[in-house]
Amino acid sequence: MLSVDIERGLGEFRLAASFEAGEGVTALFGRSGAGKTSVVNAIAGILRPDRGRITINGEILFDAARGIDVATPRRRVGYVFQEGRLFPHLNVRQNLNYAGLFSRGMPASEFDRVVELLGLRELLDRSPGNLSGGEKQRVAIGRVLLSSPRLLLLDEPLASLDAHRKSEVLQYIELIRDEVKVPIVYVSHAVEEVVRIADTVVLMSAGRVLAVGAAEDVMGRPDLRPGEGTFEGGAVIDARVVEQDMEQDLATLAFDGGTLTAASVDALIGEPVRVRIRARDVSIALDRPQRISIQNVLEGTIAQVGERPNGVVDVAIAVGGTTLRSRVTRRAARQLGLARGLSVYALVKAVSLSR
C-alpha cells in the first residue's frame, strides 16, 4: 500500500497531491503539465517535496515534519522512465543484472522467469543502441523487476512508441500486473491506456488531484471533462466475451445490463474485456427504432439529466446495473421530454474496446 500526501511549490506551479494506491494498477491520469511526473519523482526520491509524507506498507520514505528522506537507492521503488534509459555501455544482460551489483538483484531463477515473461532471451547479448523502442521498454521493465522493487512506477512508458509497439508493450505490462504481485503506479495522459489497464484512477490537473476512485467511476464522470482537454466523457463497462463471429468479424460481449456487438477482439471467449462508450456516441430514442443500421440498441431508464454549457445536456441512462452516458442537445432533450425515470432506448454508435 502506497500512501502519498505531498506539497511542493515550483515557482508558479504548485503541486498538492494526496492519494493512496493499493494492489493492482493505479493510474495517474491527466494532461501533460498536470504534475504527474513530479508525483512519481517524489515517490522515487528524485524530487523532494516541501511538505508532506510518503509511505509504503507503513514504512516512511519521506516525512517532512520528522525530517525523514530515505535516499533513492534505498527506497526499493522500481522506476520505468519514458525513454527507457538503458545504460548504453552495457548490453541487455548487463542492464538486467545491474541492480545485482548493489545487492538488490534476484536469484538466477528469477532472472530466467523475467527473461521468459518479457521475451528477452534473444536480446540478451545485444546492445541497447540496436534495440527497437518496444524492445528497449521491455528491457527497462525487466531491469526494474529484477531490482526487487516494492512498487513499480511507470512514467508514460508508451509515449515514445508507435501504435503497434504501444499495444505490444501494454500487453507485457498487463502480464506483469497479473504475474508479479507488485503495486503499479502508471502515469499516462492517454484515455485508452488508462481505461485498459487501471484499477484505480487518480485524476490530476494543474498540480492538484481532482478525483480518486475506481477506474469505471472516474473515467465515466462527464463533469470531469472541463478540466481535461484530452478527457473524453463516457462510460467504461466491464464485459465478457460470449461469442466470436470470425466470419463477420464481430464479437458479442455480455455486461451487467445486456449484450453489445463490437468489432471482433483479440480475446478468447469468456475473457474479460473493458469497453468504453463515449457520451457523444450514444443517441436516445423513446421507441425502439426499426430498420436502423445501429447494432447496439439498449433499453434503459434515465437516471439523471445534467445541464451543461453550450446548449448540451448530459444524460445518464441506467441499463441493468450499468450506467451509460449520452450527450444530446438541449433542444433534443426538451423535444423528447427527457427526465429522470423515463424509459428510453440508448443507440450506441460506437463501442471502443480497451482490450
Partner 1 sequence: MLAPEEQEVLWLSLRIAFWSVLVSLPFAIAVAYLLARASFPGKTLFDAAVHLPLVLPPVVVGFFLLILFGRRGPLGEILDSWFGIVLAFRWTGAALAAGIMGFPLMVRAIRLSFETIDRKLEAAASTLGAGRAGVFVTITLPLALPGIITGVLLSFARSLGEFGATITFVSNIPGETRTLPLAIYTYTQTPAGDAAALRLSAIAVLLSLAALYVSEVLVRRAARRVAGQDAFGRH
Residue 93, burial from CB neighbour count under 10 angstroms (0-12, 13-18, 19+): middle
Among 11, 12, 67, 103, binds partner 1 (CB under 8 A): 103
Q: Identify which of 335, 258, 254 has the alpha carbon closest to the alpha carbon of residue 297.
A: 258
Tell me how far, at minimum, the Cβ of 253 lies from partner 1, in Å.
40
Q: How far is the CB of 47 from partner 1 (least distance, A)?
A: 10
Among 3, 18, 55, 72, binds partner 1 (CB under 8 A): 72
- Please identify, among the stretches 3-11, 31-39, 73-81, 239-247, the one whose residues bind partner 1 according to the rule CB under 8 A: 73-81
Residue 36 lies near partner 1 (rule: CB under 8 A): no
Any contact of residue 49 with partner 1 (CB under 8 A)?
no
**Which of residues 126 and 308 has its CB atom nearest to partner 1 in the complex?**
126
| 144 makes contact with partner 1 (CB under 8 A) | yes
Using CB under 8 A as the binding rule, whether residue 71 contacts partner 1 is answered as yes
Q: Is 232 exposed, middle or buried (0-12, 13-18, 19+ CB in 10 A)?
A: middle
| Residue 73 binds partner 1 (CB under 8 A) | yes
User: For 99-113, b where at least 16 C-beta lie within 10 A, e where not — what string?
Assistant: bbeeebbbeeeebeb
The minimum distance between CB 159 and partner 1, in angstroms, equals 15
Provide the sign of the torsion angle of the four alpha carbons 51, 57, 60, 61, taken in this order.
negative
Using the rule CB under 8 A, is 150 a contact of partner 1?
no
Residue 243 forms beta bridges with which residues? 252
d(CA 139, CA 145): 10
Residue 192's nearest CA partner among 158, 243, 227 is 158
Q: Compute the distance between CA of residue 97 and CA of residue 90 in angstroms, rounded to an integer.
A: 10
CB of 92 to partner 1, least distance (A): 10
Q: Does 102 bind partner 1 (CB under 8 A)?
A: yes
Neighbours of 248 (CB within 10 A): 9
160 binds partner 1 (CB under 8 A): no
Q: Which position among 17, 21, 28, 99 is part of the footprint of partner 1 (CB under 8 A)?
A: 99
Q: By the criterion CB under 8 A, which residues form the site for partner 1?
A: 44-46, 71-79, 81, 83, 85-89, 98-99, 101-104, 126-130, 143-144, 147
